[in-house]
Amino acid sequence: MKNRICELLDVRYPIIEGGMAYVGNGALAAAVSNGGGFGQIGSAGRSPENFEEEILLASQLTKYPFGVNLPISEHKDNQPYVNVITKHKDKIKAISISAGNPSPFIPIFKEMGLVVMVITATAKHALKAEKSGADIIVCEGYEAGGHNGGAELTTFALVPHVSRMVDVPVVAAGGIMDGHGMAAAMALGAEAVQLGTRFVATIECQAHDNYKQYIVDSSDDATTILTRKIGGVIRALKSNYSNKVQKIDQAASTIEEILPYVRGTENKKAVIEGDFENGWASAGQGVSLITSVDSAVDVVKAIAVEANQVIAEMKVINFGQSALKN
């Protein structure tokens, strides 16, 4: 599986781990990279000191390339995180930028020699990111877990549109859990996929066992939107807490009334502490496709094998060509 993204990230398989808040730890990033994919350490929910610790851990656990994620609006001050990245730039292959305007940051990271990936949710923002110097565009559809764009464009609609408009390679994200999803993304014009929820349900992820089991036990309608009052949407697992948040959201007349219930601290209660009565946890819409907790190494390889099988099977299908000739 060789293409432009494999070459840019120096990986065997174009499978990227999303930079997940709280649970995108160094051991997980290293395991994804050891499996042939591209692991990433999330900075959201981490102090600069802990962010640095996870980078150092990943560098000890893998000899393969890995990256980091910087969600701009998640930090009151991004400079300490930029300082950590600068200090360890030789250990990092790439950075993904999300949740804010990436334009001021792209030149900084490119000057460090890093591959820059920008997460977008519309073609407009994808074009702007490309113009600002992004090397890779990650198209994140409305199916994705966590914070999503207000346009609510689905992966199936967003990826083919953006892939036709930009010259840089495109990554598909949102609702992709297995090799079938990866093959479909490639058919839409993507050159790689980014997965978050699937990597939560892995041995190496620091997520609480309650969170992992919640994912494994989920049905096809297990996710919901917590709120639309914050300028975007948050996709999370259904629970008593999510029901409470939705009722508050419906009655709220200002953003300030709902914000205390969807902060990172409430997210941490579920994903790290396993408390689903007092906190919420992200998950993509394809969550029901996850049926076990496995090593991230095995997950990457299984997705690649399945995707190749699906693509091979598709190549032998005749879509009525003989009928068209007649």
pLDDT digits (tens, 9 = 90+) for 114-169: 999 999 999 999 999 999 999 999 999 999 999 988 889 999 999 999 999 999 99
Q: What is the pLDDT of residue 179?
A: 97
Is the predicted pLDDT of residue 319 greater than 70, yes or no?
A: no
Q: Residue 281 carries which side chain, given as an amino acid letter?
A: A
Torsion of CA 89, 113, 102, 88, to 10 degrees: 0
Q: What is the pLDDT of residue 325?
A: 54
pLDDT digits (tens, 9 = 90+) for 90-116: 999 999 999 889 999 999 999 999 999
Q: How many helices (H) and strands (E) does the chain have?
A: 15, 11
Q: What is the pTM of this model?
A: 0.93
Neighbours of 298 (CB within 10 A): 14
Average pLDDT score over the chain: 94
Neighbours of 2 (CB within 10 A): 10
Distance in angstroms (rounded) separating the CA atoms of residues 220 and 280: 18
Which of 51-65, 221-235, 310-324 tops mean pLDDT? 51-65
Q: Which of 64, 63, 71 is nearest to 6 (CA)?
A: 64
Domain spans in the chain, listed from the N-terminal domain onward: 4-207+294-315, 209-271
pLDDT digits (tens, 9 = 90+) for 267-303: 999 999 999 999 999 999 999 999 999 999 999 999 9
Distance in angstroms (rounded) separating the CA atoms of residues 290 and 198: 7
Class in CATH terms, 4-207+294-315: alpha beta
For residue 295, give both structure tokens. Answer: 């090593």
